[in-house]
A = this chain, B = another copy of it.
Amino acid sequence: MTVVLGDNQYGKADVRLVHIARGGDWHEITDLTVSVALAGDLAAVHHSGDNSGVVATDSQKNTVYAFAREHGIGEIEDFADLLARHFVATYSHIRRARVAIEQHSWDRIAVDGDDHPHSFAAAGGERRTTTVTHDGAQSWVLSGLTGLVVLKSTGSEFAGFVRDRYTTLAETDDRILATAVTARWLHGAAAGDWATSFALVRRRLVETFSATHSLSLQQTLYAMGSAALEGQPDIAEIRLSMPNRHHFLVDLAPFGLDNPGEVYFAADRPYGLIEGTVTRDDAPDPGPAWRE
């Protein structure tokens, strides 16, 4: 019996990169948080502190900034893939690179009704995301979003669930349904029209959440995932994580008042957490795409 090194990776996390594209006076802003993780033949540094194979995380950060200047950003999936390929191609002992990016959105400010050329307001908590994994032969591309907070004030029931000793929850045929959607989906190819695809998936997620009469958050999740996949054969699989942000109807009877679906307490903790994958029956092996 011997102690041995198992899976390992390292890299620079949370590199904050803001890129300004200046087309004359008209500026475009791209605001990213980039994280890199490298794996490969790294036994020596673990066993003896031999750093000869270590690409310093500081150098990884430098690479992110230099690539932003040399190549621009474009779509985050392409920028992540470019970086991931660079690390594997440049350092022969690095066998796998994973680059994860969160994109923070900005809206252009209007002044006297006209879009301002270089002034922006932060758009809020939702971020577009990507994770690209490259192993020297292939890239796996995940697109996604996180922090998309949506709420329906009706059109949601919850009834017919297991009732036993530990059940106190009443059935309801009209509740608020609210969640903060995190979704990631795996593309079948490493190149694509990412912006168009993203817009379509996001729209289907949001519209399906809205239009589905919900009998449970699981049903809503599956409907959202199915809608995202339908008609887009380039997407092999989507994974959704949807916390149930409970809104409890306040009992106003002690104050001589009814409460016909009007006054709610929005609770923080605990919360239900619904996680699910929607895929295709012929989806290929996802390889290392989803590894953390």
Contacts and interface: CB of A to CB of B under 8 A. Distances in A.
B124 A169 contact: no
Interface residues of A, number: 143
Interface in A258-292: 258-282, 292
Contacts of A123: 124
Contact of A54 (B29, B161, B210): B161
Copies in the complex: 4
A13 B270 contact: yes
Nearest to A207: B111
Nearest to A221: B46
A18 B118 contact: no
Most B Cβ at <10 Å: residue of A37, A53, A54, A126: A54
Interface stretch (A2-10, A129-137, A192-200): A2-10
A203 B146 CA distance: 29
A63 B162 contact: no
A10 B46 CA distance: 37
| Closest 10 pairs (CB-CB, A-B) | A124-B124, A49-B215, A6-B277, A119-B210, A122-B149, A8-B276, A49-B219, A57-B272, A46-B222, A58-B169
Given A106-B151, A119-B152, 14 more contacts: A5-B276, A8-B218, A16-B270, A20-B176, A49-B219, A66-B255, A109-B209, A119-B211, A121-B149, A121-B206, A122-B150, A124-B124, A124-B126, A268-B269
